[in-house]
Amino acid sequence: DADVTQTPRNRITKTGKRIMLECSQTKGHDRMYWYRQDPGLGLRLIYYSFDVKDINKGEISDGYSVSRQAQAKFSLSLESAIPNQTALYFCATSAPGLNQPQHFGDGTRLSIL
């Protein structure tokens, strides 16, 4: 079983719909992250959380919100989806400490029509 699981893996929806992407992990890591990947732009950080009570905005948080329901669960929501939010979304986790590697899920491909 994957250590970092993202659901759904693929989603097609319409402009204006509310969408939730979910991430769960079995690695026991406190730190969790949401990124989006766009061709030619690499990965950009949307939100990150260092524990259940700590939520921080990343580089591109506008139009997104998150919820850290438990140490193992971190959800990303698009309240009113727009076409330019079409992208590949990744959840990642890391252990606390200096320069710990981030462990990524396999991504959610989101298309907004």
Partner 1 sequence: QQQVKQSPQSLIVQKGGISIINCAYENTAFDYFPWYQQFPGKGPALLIAIRPDVSEKKEGRFTISFNKSAKQFSLHIMDSQPGDSATYFCAASMLGSARQLTFGSGTQLTVLP
Which residue(s) pair with 88 in the sheet? 37, 109
Q: How far apart are CA 28 and CA 42, in angstroms?
A: 27
Say whether residue 45 binds partner 1 (CB under 8 A).
yes
Radius of gyration over every alpha carbon of the chain, rounded to an integer in angstroms = 13
**106 near partner 1, rule: CB under 8 A:** yes
Nearer to partner 1, 2 or 80 (CB): 2
CB of 9 to partner 1, least distance (A): 9
* Residues of the shown chain interacting with partner 1 in the complex, contacts defined by CB under 8 A: 4, 40-45, 48, 50, 56, 58-59, 90, 92, 98-99, 101-107
